[in-house]
Structure 1
Amino acid sequence: MNDLDLIRRYEPVLRFTRGEQFFPIRATDYLRRCSLWLQRPGEEPRELVTEGHLSPATLGDDRPAGFGSVQYLKFIDPLNIAELAAYRLRTGFERRSEDEVFHPGPGRLARVGYTARFIDAIFSLTLLARGRVPGDTAAAAALVCRQMDAEPAYHARVLKQEGWIILQYWVFFPFNNWRSGFFGANDHEADWEMLCIYLADRPNAEPQPEWVAYASHEFEGDELRRRWDDPELHKEQGTHPVVYTGAGSHAAYFQPGEYMTEIELAFLSPLARLAEFAQRIGRNLTRLAQGQMPRSQANHVRVNTFRVPFIDYARGDGQAIGPGQPRPWGAPEPLTPTPDWVKGYRGLWGLFVRDQFAGENAPAGPMYNRDGSVRRAWFDPLGWAGLDKVAPQASADEAVAVRTAELETETEALRRSIQANSQRLHTLGIEQQAMYGRAHMRHIYLEHGRQIQSLSQDLATQRGRLTENRALLESLGRYAARLGAGERAPAQAHLAHPHRPIDPQELTIGRVAELWSAMSIGLMMMLFVGLVLFARQALFVGAAGLVVLLTLIEAGARRRLRSLLHGLTIVLAVLSGLVLLYEFFWPLVEVGLVLAGAYIMWENIRELANRR
């Protein structure tokens, strides 16, 4: 089976959310609509290639620009007022099918507390100051994409590494409207997404699919992949993995649903790390480690207080592209060997808006990061998905046999070394005992003591390694037996913190709670200004009262007044205990010492009384 046959046999199915406006197209179709620009530090952008004159053959041309410069493509210009009005009027009168209408879920802010809402407010305010994609750009992009009416297509490459055949599918979207279309974190021109299918390379048989990995935002490692037989990996016709694509963000997920995604602000990174550490310690102390906690808590989405929460809608209830779907894929665009337009162009594939957080800047191409360095997923697809430590199942028997033979050789060498060192240690001990008490041999006696101590430590280390090797050999033997019987580890044994959709029970949030969560931070800011203006002399008391009032309203909106009162009771009890401890510290210490002394006397006398 040649590379193209493999690519077509396992090509994915993409399922979108209702309301999605941008779908995968060939990057070459996009290029023909773009112009190429250069941004030098401290200068105005300069157009290098005008729209209509850019092609895959010229994109990779060498264009030295100097340090700090950014080359970028520009897909469209924002609509002017007349064009925008005409577009809104036309789309407003169009009869849209149900799979084109997006209905947001319960408010994301209702799922988090005050601190996360406050940080979200800061993030929203930063959009006014930092670079961002103009508001009408998404509408203009949607209009241009309608005019293009391009065939759905993907780009693919095939590579072999360490016993694996890796099918890498790159999907290109002309625009990302997560912020303007689905209340997400950012908008940007162009969007490259990727998934990998890992097949065991079997010399005398067809390649066998074993793992699938989906790119999702900036994640990497074990959490990105699922085993081919994992029930959470949905497949069409048995060979085409289903990708549930985030609305507007185009991140890839294994299950349909709504996903909580967090954006970290750079200046809050230390606090976010501290919050993660505290959560981890709390889980360990309560013994609710992974695999031991109740399922309801294991599926609960933990939100970091110091990150900005967003919802990624990957419901899969909209259009679908791929085998067996209403819109099949066109012919794939090969990336093997690497085309010049991929390896020669390190710039951005869309508008560069000078966003300090980089979220609104367009991404680079499939081969590069925004800074021009090569993506790990490109040069190390095994390590990117945490598979560099995993052998293909087809060669696992051989790998176990090889490692067993190596370990047996090492164990035998250890055994012989231990025997020799043990004999040497006995000899040193006999010699040292023979020298005991002879004054003229004091230095030799002491030197023997140092040698004995060093050799004894080495011998203990060797015996420890021998014990570990024997235990490992036993484990390898049992593992080989399981492999021979066709047994495998659980499909999700490699997952520590799988990214799963929000539990539907967590989505049952009342309208009052949603409305309050949307208003609370703004109202808090206005009330605080009112305190400063009209009650400055009682600012501290007023602020404390404001916090209490807002906490009560929050609990009432969430129907958690009873939980709040219970928590307050515990807090007040602890505070009362601390006050009593502070006020009566020394009397309590004295009473404690007297009681401890009496207990010790009692135990000692009881021991004497029973001695017969």
Structure 2
Amino acid sequence: MSAKTDLELLRAYEPVLMFTRGELFFPTDVEAYVRCCSLWLDLPEGGEREVVPAGELTLDRLARADAEWPGYRQHLRFVQESSLRAEARRFRRRERPVIPKSGRLAAVGVLGRIVDVLMRLSLLIRGAVPGGVAAAAATRYRDRIDTGTTATYYGRVVREGGYVVLQYWFFYAMNDWRSVYGGVNDHEADWEKVTVYLVEEENGEYRPVWVGASSHEYLGDDLRRRWDDPELHRDGNHPIIYVGAGSHSHQMLPGDYLIQVDPAFLRGVLRAWRRFTARFLPSSSRLRGIGVPFVDYARGDGVRVGPGGERTWTPVLIDDTTPWVRGYRGLWGRNTRDWFDGERAPSGPRYERDGTVRRSWADPLWWVGLHKVPPTPEDTRASLQAHLDDLDARIAEADAKIEEERAALRRLAAAEMVLSRHASAKARAKEYRARIAELERSLAARYRERTHLVDEREMHRAALANGDVLEPPPQAHLRSPHLPYASGRQHTTRFLHVWAAMSTPLLLTALGVVMVVLRGSLALLAAVGVVVLFAAFDALARRRFLTFLIGSAFLALALGVVGAVIAAFLINWRITVLVPMTLAVVSLLYLNVRDLLRR
């Protein structure tokens, strides 16, 4: 298909990006960005060396960087040290709208706020973007790159697995999530993408079926929404995506999104607690994991980019043969050598930071879990029919195995019958009986499997014969969709904000005083008391005191039962064993008598 046709497809379904009021960076032209950058080499001994100063670099030379400096990893630098302070001062003198933050510390408990402290402290030993870079980048972007009326996307069209994949890549000069919006990280350069998945009808027309949007490091089914999903906002054929302030991550619904973690060692406890709160305290919380106080403000109340917006799209076609896409494997911004990678600039759309091909570029269906999803209901029916053919073959194979094993079983049974009549062959007969029992178990298992296969086959045949709609509901594939915890228009109490800001330092100070002043078991009891007291105040401030009381009661009950059992065992272990045995005997006697009377 011609490049013009690919461009027409991209224009027909290009997304609308809704930014939060106060956003400083918008999707931009990489050529203008590269002209503002210097090119640096990462030296083997750990240093770096500038090889092309700012103002002299072009996309053509960037594409030849590997050939010009073989054996070296390269990175760009957008903000230059010589102009950093002046550009940062100019930014701070500007007036700009400040978004009303929903109180990130107030959104989580004490544990989440402790994680926040640890994350901030880790920046002291990790590689981090220096102070002032985000402010200087905003000035540099506004003065040298931003047109004020347009935005650029880099479009790529891939045909794979029955889908026509439209990738829209967006480049931002800076991710200023940490320094401006209290988020996780800052880094120069930022690549994000939205992908629209089409199917081609028999008449040659195209029909959109799925939309995927990048959001931090998430991947899989939860990243995509079906075209008819009521929670996928659209303007005609243009999906509307809400962009996180500073982070530029994508969300399907407007609002404030709390970053959450789900530690593996606590997963079972968290799952049980969610089930309990969902049943008995349905309004207590919408959070699914342990909240970490970093918020994505994706409110959509700012600039609209795309059809019907203040900024219009400038599309640029790219593919595997585009020189700068294929040729440059280095970082698109400052290399801070952060071992967490959070503050390191990303590589381009085709590559990961280590220079390997990005999997979402090479395999856009895997990225959103679409390999398992047939493009159309007709393809689903064809796949189901192919599965039926497999079932027929497996059932026929099972029938043959059953006949074979049954014949073998009967041969063994006949032989065992004869051997059991002779005293001298008793041992041999016993071996045969063991083999017979084993073969009977195998035959029974094979019969069970065949029964399941036949039952499944009948279900599939009925679905095909009845013309059932072989398409699940629009949100059936979602397991843990990222949903906003707040709308951005809610009001929280001043006490909550003050408590959220002061509680963690006060808690750590109180625990420190306890450890210094008290000794032994008294110090341990005092520390537990301090933690419980702070947890109670935190629950009260967040209007979840009832949840705290119920949770505390269950915890106290569980600890009491465990303590009572241990104490009883230490006093007299016989009583500890006899009590549950007596209860078991009474229960069994009651059940047996009840069954006897019912006859």
What TM-score, normalized to structure 1? 0.84
Alignment check: 8 A CA contact 2:177 2:246 kept: yes
Partner of 1:410: 394
Q: Deviations along 1:214-243, whole A, 9 cap, x unmatched?
A: 111011111111111111111111x11111
Taking a change above 3 Å as real, the CA distance of residues 203 and 55 of structure 1, as seen in their structure-2 partners, is farther
Taking a change above 3 Å as real, the CA distance of residues 388 and 545 of structure 1, as seen in their structure-2 partners, is closer
User: Structure 2: which amino acid aligns with 1:71?
Assistant: Q
Q: CA deviation at 1:70?
A: 3.7
Q: Deviations along 1:137-178, whole A, 9 cap, x unmatched?
A: 112211122122243111111112222221111111111110
Q: CA deviation at 1:583?
A: 5.2
Partner of 2:289: 303
Alignment check: 8 A CA contact 1:109 1:309 kept: yes
| SS of aligned partner of 1:387 | coil
Cα distance in 2 between the residues matched to 1:597 and 1:5: 75
User: Structure 2: which amino acid aligns with 1:243?
Assistant: I
Cα distance in 2 between the residues matched to 1:71 and 1:56: 14
Q: Deviations along 1:86-136, whole A, 9 cap, x unmatched?
A: 4433x13xxx5xxx542211x122122222211211211222332211221
Q: CA deviation at 1:440?
A: 7.1
Q: CA deviation at 1:363?
A: 0.7
Cα distance in 1 between the residues matched to 2:186 and 2:37: 18
Alignment check: 8 A CA contact 2:109 2:538 kept: no
557-566 vs 47-56, greater mean Cα deviation: 557-566
Q: Does 1:358 align with 2:341?
A: yes
Equivalences for residues 274-285 of structure 1 within 5 A: 274-283=265-274
User: Which of 459, 469, 478 is the equivalent residue of 1:475?
Assistant: 459
Q: CA deviation at 1:350?
A: 0.4
Alignment check: 8 A CA contact 1:112 1:303 kept: no
Q: Does 1:88 align with 2:96?
A: no
Partner of 1:592: 579
Q: CA RMSD of the aligned region, Å?
A: 3.7
Equivalences for residues 206-605 of structure 1 within 5 A: 206-237=205-236, 239-262=237-260, 272-283=263-274, 286=276, 296=283, 300-304=286-290, 308-330=292-314, 332-393=315-376, 394-438=378-422, 449=433, 452-453=436-437, 455-481=439-465, 484-486=467-469, 488-503=471-486, 509-528=492-511, 543=527, 546-547=530-531, 549-559=533-543, 564=548, 585-586=571-572, 588-589=575-576, 592=579, 599=586
Cα distance in 1 between the residues matched to 2:528 and 2:575: 33
| SS of aligned partner of 1:352 | coil
Cα distance in 2 between the residues matched to 1:527 and 1:362: 40
525-534 vs 17-26, greater mean Cα deviation: 525-534
Taking a change above 3 Å as real, the CA distance of residues 457 and 506 of structure 1, as seen in their structure-2 partners, is farther
Partner of 1:268: none
Q: CA deviation at 1:563?
A: 5.7
Partner of 2:27: 24
Cα distance in 1 between the residues matched to 2:592 and 2:341: 75
Q: Deviations along 1:297-320, whole A, 9 cap, x unmatched?
A: 7x7113326xx4311011111101
Partner of 2:59: 56
Cα distance in 2 between the residues matched to 1:208 and 1:573: 58
Identity fraction in percent: 38
Q: Does 1:103 align with 2:103?
A: no
Partner of 2:113: 117
Cα distance in 2 between the residues matched to 1:315 and 1:605: 64
- Structure 2 residue runs of 5 or longer lacking an equivalent are none
Cα distance in 1 between the residues matched to 2:416 and 2:519: 86
Taking a change above 3 Å as real, the CA distance of residues 234 and 536 of structure 1, as seen in their structure-2 partners, is same
Cα distance in 1 between the residues matched to 2:561 and 2:428: 65
Taking a change above 3 Å as real, the CA distance of residues 497 and 559 of structure 1, as seen in their structure-2 partners, is closer
- Structure 1 residue runs of 5 or longer lacking an equivalent are 265-270
227-236 vs 504-513, greater mean Cα deviation: 504-513
Alignment check: 8 A CA contact 1:276 1:304 kept: no
Partner of 1:137: 133
Alignment check: 8 A CA contact 2:190 2:346 kept: yes
Cα distance in 2 between the residues matched to 1:337 and 1:593: 71
User: Structure 1: which amino acid aligns with 2:8?
Assistant: D
341-350 vs 413-422, greater mean Cα deviation: 413-422
Equivalences for residues 143-182 of structure 1 within 5 A: 143-147=139-143, 148-150=145-147, 151-182=150-181
Q: Deviations along 1:34-85, whole A, 9 cap, x unmatched?
A: 1111122434310122223322222232248788x64211112255545443
| SS of aligned partner of 1:153 | strand
Q: Deviations along 1:402-455, whole A, 9 cap, x unmatched?
A: 222332233234334423443443344334424442467778757755664564
Taking a change above 3 Å as real, the CA distance of residues 249 and 82 of structure 1, as seen in their structure-2 partners, is closer
Cα distance in 1 between the residues matched to 2:164 and 2:282: 36
Alignment check: 8 A CA contact 1:244 1:316 kept: yes
Taking a change above 3 Å as real, the CA distance of residues 569 and 196 of structure 1, as seen in their structure-2 partners, is closer
Taking a change above 3 Å as real, the CA distance of residues 442 and 505 of structure 1, as seen in their structure-2 partners, is farther
502-511 vs 391-400, greater mean Cα deviation: 502-511
Cα distance in 2 between the residues matched to 1:232 and 1:594: 56
| SS of aligned partner of 1:152 | strand
Alignment check: 8 A CA contact 2:319 2:325 kept: no
Q: CA deviation at 1:518?
A: 0.7
Taking a change above 3 Å as real, the CA distance of residues 505 and 193 of structure 1, as seen in their structure-2 partners, is closer
Cα distance in 2 between the residues matched to 1:479 and 1:455: 36
User: Structure 2: which amino acid aligns with 1:21?
Assistant: L
Taking a change above 3 Å as real, the CA distance of residues 261 and 439 of structure 1, as seen in their structure-2 partners, is same
Cα distance in 2 between the residues matched to 1:519 and 1:509: 16
Q: CA deviation at 1:287?
A: 10
| SS of aligned partner of 2:312 | coil
Cα distance in 2 between the residues matched to 1:605 and 1:174: 77
Q: CA deviation at 1:184?
A: 0.6
Taking a change above 3 Å as real, the CA distance of residues 215 and 450 of structure 1, as seen in their structure-2 partners, is same
382-391 vs 78-87, greater mean Cα deviation: 78-87
Q: CA deviation at 1:579?
A: 5.7
Alignment check: 8 A CA contact 1:303 1:309 kept: no
| SS of aligned partner of 1:329 | strand
What TM-score, normalized to structure 2? 0.86
Cα distance in 1 between the residues matched to 2:589 and 2:469: 65
Cα distance in 2 between the residues matched to 1:157 and 1:442: 77
536-545 vs 196-205, greater mean Cα deviation: 536-545
Alignment check: 8 A CA contact 1:170 1:366 kept: yes
Q: Deviations along 1:474-501, whole A, 9 cap, x unmatched?
A: 232243356x354631111111111111
Partner of 2:7: 4
| SS of aligned partner of 1:154 | strand
| SS of aligned partner of 2:336 | coil
